[in-house]
Amino acid sequence: MSFLQPALLWGLLAVALPIIIHLLNRRRHRTVKWAAMDFLLKATRESRGKKKLKHILILTCRALAIAALIFAIARPLLGGFLGLGASVDTVVLILDRSASMERREADGQPTKRELILAQVKDAMAELETARLVLLDSATGTLSEVPSPDILPELSTTQPTDTASDLPSLLATAFDYLRESQPGRSEIWLATDMQLSNWRTEDSRWPAFAQTLNDLPSPTSLRVLALPATPRDNRHIRLLSSRRNSDGITLELEITRDESTGRINLPVTINLDGAPTTETLVVEGQTLRFSRTLPLSSAQATGWGRVSLPPDPNLRDNHLYFTYGEQQPLRTTIVHDGTLPEEALQTLSRAAAPPGLTHFTVEELVLAGPNPDIAALNLTESALLIWAAPLPTDTAAVIVRSYLESGGEVLFLPCESDLEPTFASLGWGPIENAPAGKFFITNENWRRDEGPFRDGQDGNSIPLQQLRAIKRLPLLPASDAIPLASWDDGSPLMVRKILGQGTAHLLTTLPDYRWSDLEQTALHLVLVQRLLEAGAKRLDESSQVAGQTPHTPASLVEAALTPGNYPISAGIYQTEEGLLALNLPAGELSLAKLDPSEIEQTLLPDTKVSFFEQKTEADQSLLQEIWRPFLIIMLLLLLIEAILTLNKKPASPKVNVDPSKSPTHS
């Protein structure tokens, strides 16, 4: 608890006045022995203990009433942000400047970032002597604020299109407090509890609790949570973009905070400065759709923007993209020579459909005791199909590096050596279906993601029609995620994420001696969707999401879109061409961190104070609580008055004998 007028607390010495008066009154009376009173004193000795307790209660009420009055006139401050701490010498404000902090909880109200800046300014003005040190999420640098009045005007408190790395910010704050030792300190962490910004998987969290307790100066951590109120915010995300012979094809996704109700949502696509608008019907929480924008052969490079109408957060209503000349999509097929020729031709036609010149297939045979691993060049490959024993040694290093850089790999069964494992993945013995029977697909597969997901129109692919007579199951120790299974629970396809890429394992082949994958055309859907996902790696140089893009060291100019690179989304001109910078994917997520997880998981055995900010703009971080002390004083005086009241003596009863009453004639 803090006070606006701490000097008035010296008035607490007045609490001793009732006690002093009581002691002086006891000295005013002299005790005189009187034998006639001994009998009466003996008679009232049993009730003397109760009277003494009553007098003590009266004296206590008087003393506490004076103390409550002194506390009230000293103007005590109490808030979830300051907790019950004493005075503060230094406040380190960790300000989340991520894009999600620009949400407005009501029309006409300030954004979350503006709201917290205004309230921190008021709180620091009331603390008077405390120093304010700002640590913002966009720059990650510390700067002392000379006056809280200029806090909203600083360049390091302005909006950005970035994400936050809260573990790194906390580590920076701890290092500063350890080195500078600024006295009793508070760390004020202002965030909207966006789950991605907390980076709960960061390995530094377990050590932070001990670090906070071991700081040389007493330090408290206060989390100012800014939760979202129910409002239907919408955002748009670019899933992929690809230049083809018809133009540029965009895969887009619109997500709503609320999934109730059907809305008509206008979407504007601006291609090289020429806007077009169409209205989409959004019925659920998510809508995925694709648009192919026609381009002439003369348009080698260009840019575009997709926009939604204004809503509670304006920062997530736009996305940007660039395009260049059409690049071939290469698929590399690696096998050991045992892959059936029909299966090889089927996979090649699926990866490079006839008549489409921008799809190419490269075949590499790794057979013999000394296969030519050096020929395995995956730099320009969008998809790797591996139908050989799982890679080991040099091949494993090449494949893993390809995966971690965003590549897509499809591992298929082979009938050669089944001993090798890769990234804890391995094959078991070949299984054949009983005579006259098939391995049948379980109807419960992942329809929301992966290569067997439902189409954009909501229709599912006919995976339940798949029949197989041979399969190569996975080892039980595999930690991959099943995407589809056979009816006996054995996996049909699994997925394992390595870095930015994904490895898929399919337990059967598109060959009549294995399954009817080719007859159902499921192999075509599988290969094309994996090829589409792998193409994103080739386009990442021009489509960047996040605040740390892999771009040339020097920026020539910021073109088309105003703002500061790289903290504002837009189109930028670099030495290597146009660059589209978009919001990080985590800022578009609806997932929030539950405050209880901070104390239970991230910072156990640490006292963390929470202040859940409401939507009222005038709510202060510090609240005066003098009124409760006045109420307590009045209650104490009332109790004291009740205790001092003497009981009215009972009237003596007079018994009248009727026989002796006078008679009248």
My answer on whether 484 and 392 are in the same domain is yes
> Which residue stretches of 112-242 are H helix?
112-127, 166-180, 195-198, 205-213
Q: Could you tell me if residue 94 is inside a domain?
A: no
Q: Kindly report the CATH number assigned to the domain that includes residue 385.
A: 3.40.50.880
Residue-averaged pLDDT of the chain: 82
Q: Write down the pLDDT at residue 32.
A: 63
pLDDT above 70 covers a percentage of the chain that reads 82
Question: Residue 15 domain-assigned?
Answer: yes
Least confident of 331-345, 451-465, 477-491, 547-561: 547-561
Together in a domain, 479 and 408: yes
Domain presence at residue 357: yes
Reply yes or no on whether the pLDDT at 541 is more than 60: no
Mean pLDDT of 244-261: 86
Q: Are residues 524 and 437 in the same domain?
A: yes
User: Into how many domains does the chain fold?
Assistant: 3
Whether residue 306 is found in the same domain as residue 402 = no
Res 554: pLDDT: 34
- Indicate whether 395 and 544 sit together in one domain: no
Q: Is residue 182 part of a domain?
A: no
pTM of the model: 0.66
**Which residue's structure tokens are 């837009």?**
570
* Residues 441-483 pLDDT 10s: 998 898 888 899 888 777 888 898 999 999 999 888 667 899 9
Is-contact 471 431, C-beta < 8 A? yes
pLDDT of residue 618: 42
* Same domain membership, residue 297 and residue 254: yes
Q: Is the pLDDT of residue 159 over 50?
A: yes
CB 137 within 8 A of CB 165: yes
- Taking CA 218 as the corner, what is the angle to CA 214 and CA 224, rounded to the nearest 5 degrees? 100
Same domain? 351 vs 492 = yes
Answer yes or no: is 361 within a domain: yes
pLDDT tier, 75 (very low <50, low <70, confident <90, very high otherwise): low
Kindly state the tokens that stand for 286.
């998510």
Task: Give all strands of the β-sheet with 608-612 in edge-to-edge order.
Answer: 142-145, 131-136, 90-95, 185-191, 219-225, 608-612
d(CA 113, CA 613): 12
Residue 300 sits in a domain whose CATH number is 2.60.40.10
The pLDDT of residue 424 is 87
Work out the pLDDT band at 626, boundaries 50, 70, 90: low
97 belongs to a structural domain: no
Q: Are residues 556 and 630 in the same domain?
A: no
For residue 45, the model assigns a pLDDT of 56
270-279 CB contacts, 8 Å cutoff, 24+ apart:
270/304, 270/305, 270/306, 270/307, 271/302, 271/304, 272/299, 272/302, 272/303, 272/304
Does residue 644 or residue 405 have the better pLDDT?
A: 405
At 135 the three-state DSSP class reads: strand
Give the highest mean pLDDT range of 35-49, 53-67, 429-443. 429-443
| Residue 615 is assigned to a structural domain of this protein | no
pLDDT at 83 over 50: no
* Higher-pLDDT residue of 187, 646: 187
* Same domain as 370, residue 301: no
- Domain extent, residue 549, equals 234-325+540-588
Give the dihedral sign, CA 112/114/115/120.
positive
Assigned token pair, 408: 């897509």
pLDDT > 90 fraction of the chain, expressed in percent and rounded? 37
Which pLDDT value is given to residue 40?
59
Residue 490 lies in a domain: yes
For residues 450 and 570, membership in a common domain is answered with no
d(C-alpha 3, C-alpha 333), whole Å: 74
What's the pLDDT at 375?
A: 82
* Shared-domain flag, residues 396 and 520: yes
On whether the CB atoms of residues 68 and 107 are closer than 8 A, the answer is no
Pairwise CA distance, residues 304 & 507, whole Å: 41
The mean pLDDT value for 625-644 works out to 80
Higher per-residue confidence, 330 vs 53: 330
Same-domain check for residues 369 and 512:
yes
Cα angle, residue 217 at apex, residues 211 and 218 outer, rounded to 5°: 80
CA distance 303 to 578: 8
User: Does pLDDT of 388 surpass 80?
Assistant: yes
Average pLDDT value for residue range 595-622: 71
Give the confidence band of 164 by pLDDT, cuts at 50, 70, 90.
very high
* Location of structure tokens 């603390």: 127
Give the Cα separation of 133 and 186 in Å (integer).
10
In Å, how far from its chain's centre is CA 358? Answer: 40
What are the pLDDT digits (tens) for 94-117?
999 999 999 987 777 889 999 899
Sequence-ordered alpha helix ranges (H) in 278-416: 341-351, 393-404
Token code pair at residue 140: 């990650």
**Residue where the block lists tokens 């060049």:** 377
Q: Could you count the other beta carbons within 10 Å of the beta carbon of residue 322?
A: 21
